[in-house]
Homo-oligomer: A and B are copies of this chain.
Amino acid sequence: MKDSTVVDLSAIRTTCQNCGLYQLCLPMGLEEGDMDRLDKVIKRRRKIEKGDHLYRMRDAFNTVYAIRSGSVKTYTSIENGAEQVTGFHLPGELLGLNAVSTKFHTDSAVALETASVCEIPFDRLEDLTREIPSMQHHMLHVMSEEIQSDHCQLMMIAKMPAEARLARFLLSLSMHFGNRGFSATEFNLSMSRNDIANLLGLAVETVSRLFSHFQDEGLLTVERKHIVIHDIDGLMDVTTKCPSQPLPNKKSSD
Contacts and interface: CB of A to CB of B under 8 A. Distances in A.
A240 to B, nearest CB: 6
B240 A80 contact: yes
A147 B96 CA distance: 11
Interface residue SS majority, chain A: helix
A195 to B, nearest CB: 13
Given A157-B158, A159-B78, A107 B143 contact: no
The oligomer's copy count stands at 2
Interface string A88-99: 000000000111
A92 to B, nearest CB: 15
A100 B144 contact: yes
Contacts of A100: 137, 140-141, 143-144
Contacts of A242: 78, 80, 82
A150 interface: yes
Given A144-B101, A151-B86, A246 B157 contact: no
A201 interface: yes
A145 to B, nearest CB: 4
Interface stretch (A109-117, A126-134, A224-232): A126-134
Given A151-B76, A157-B154, A201-B157, A144 B82 contact: no
Contact of A99 (B76, B101, B144, B150): B144
A244 B80 contact: yes
Given A86-B154, A157-B158, A157-B201, 13 more contacts: A76-B151, A78-B242, A82-B159, A82-B245, A84-B154, A98-B144, A100-B141, A100-B144, A102-B148, A107-B151, A143-B147, A153-B154, A158-B200
